[in-house]
Amino acid sequence: MLLRDGRIERVAPHLEPAANDLDAEGLVLSPGFIDIHCHSEFAALLYPRAESKILAGVTTDVSGNCGASPFPLVGEYRRRRQAEWGRHGLILDWQSAAEYFDRAEASPCSVNRVVLAGHGAIRASVVGYADRRPSAEERGRMRRLLVEAIEAGAWGLSSGLIYPPGCYADVDELADLARCAAEAGAFYSSHIRNEGDALLEAIDGFLDVVRRSGVRGQLSHLKASGAANWQKMPDAIRRLRDARSDGLAVTADRYPYLASMTDLDSLLLPNWAVEGGRDTELARLADPATRRRMAGDIRRRHPESDYFERILIAAVTAHGPQDVVGKTLRQVA
């Protein structure tokens, strides 16, 4: 292969010697990979060289997934992100999408970056962490924030429907925003509402949003969580294939290992327990009677005897108990 000025000029079995010859025998020569599901929206500002991406052959990074974008930063959502990234030395000195992209331009990254506007961030900035439907006026504000983000440089809309406040959104709310994305030529990426017992119903909900809005849809990390649900994968794939045959522009990504990583409260606690924000959630956890109610809900949803042995604590907050890192919940208990 002959490269000139950063472009492929010729591919042939034999080429004349060039100014710089690179011997790739035994290696793989391929186009750069697009990493469609990333959470590097903040890390890219701290580590713009992105060595972990480049060494893996990734040249385009899509972040802002699962409804958690770096904009808009308002209220509790801002406090959560600052607590998460402040310990790494990152100061969140922006609020809007336009301000974020200005900040990103000031520290150019070694990979191409695509950033999505998160439904969770948008909802949190307008409705907060309340479990209720937004009013007509609030829906209008959410639409405007999405349009402003896309005009500033966001490539689409993402949702994380197991995380607060995204878990409180219904199909009407999501389709309303997805329609705005479609009208702007953007796409919709979703961490669907359930990836286990209600996997197929959650896929139907995702397809309903795509069908009603006309948006291009990307289903994030397609999987069936829990061995009892593995047999659902043929039906899950069939649903997506049928949707494509019906003319819906839907795709999905998945990863080749039996693990996942997420926030512990989003994984374990019922939606009612996390409503109202982190301080309210912690107050509920401090109340013995409410904690017993939570425990009952968790046991009903996860009756497997080895469930807590399969949850490994990978990280805690800066002021959290560092000695639990690397242990399972069963070991900690």
Q: How far apart are alpha carbons 51 and 53 in whole angstroms?
A: 5
Going by DSSP bridges, is the β-strand pair 7-10/2-4 parallel, antiparallel, or unpaired? Answer: antiparallel
Burial of 197 (0-12, 13-18, 19+ CB in 10 A): middle
Please give the distance of CA 229 from its chain centroid, rounded to a whole number. 22
Which residue(s) pair with 114 in the sheet? 62
What's at 259, amino acid-wise?
Answer: A
Helix/strand/coil for 64: coil
pLDDT of res. 230: 95
Angle at 332 between CA 328 and CA 333, to 5 degrees: 115
* Of 106, 31, 43, 98, residue with least CA distance to 71: 98
Please give the distance of CA 114 from its chain centroid, rounded to a whole number. 13
pLDDT of res. 304: 78
pLDDT of res. 278: 85
What contacts 14, CB < 8 A, 6 or more positions away?
none
pLDDT of res. 303: 82
pLDDT of res. 263: 87
For the chain, domains (ranges, CATH) are 33-252 (3.20.20.140), 264-332 (no CATH)
What's at 75, amino acid-wise?
Answer: G
Going by DSSP bridges, is the β-strand pair 187-191/250-252 parallel, antiparallel, or unpaired? Answer: unpaired
pLDDT of res. 324: 94
Q: Provide φ and ψ at 114, rounded to 5°.
A: -115, 125
Would you write out the chain's pLDDT as a tens digit for each of its 333 residues? 888 888 888 898 888 888 888 888 898 888 899 999 999 999 999 999 999 999 999 999 999 999 999 999 999 899 989 988 988 899 999 999 999 999 999 989 999 999 999 999 999 999 999 999 999 999 999 999 999 999 999 999 999 999 999 999 999 999 999 999 999 999 999 999 999 999 999 999 999 999 999 999 999 999 999 889 999 999 999 999 999 999 999 999 999 888 888 888 888 898 899 998 888 999 999 999 999 999 999 988 888 778 888 899 998 887 889 999 999 999 998
Please give the distance of CA 12 from its chain centroid, rounded to a whole number. 41
Q: Provide φ and ψ at 272, rounded to 5°.
A: -65, -25
Q: Which helix (H) or strand (E) holds 62?
A: strand 58-63
CA atoms within 13 A on the CB side of 269: 21
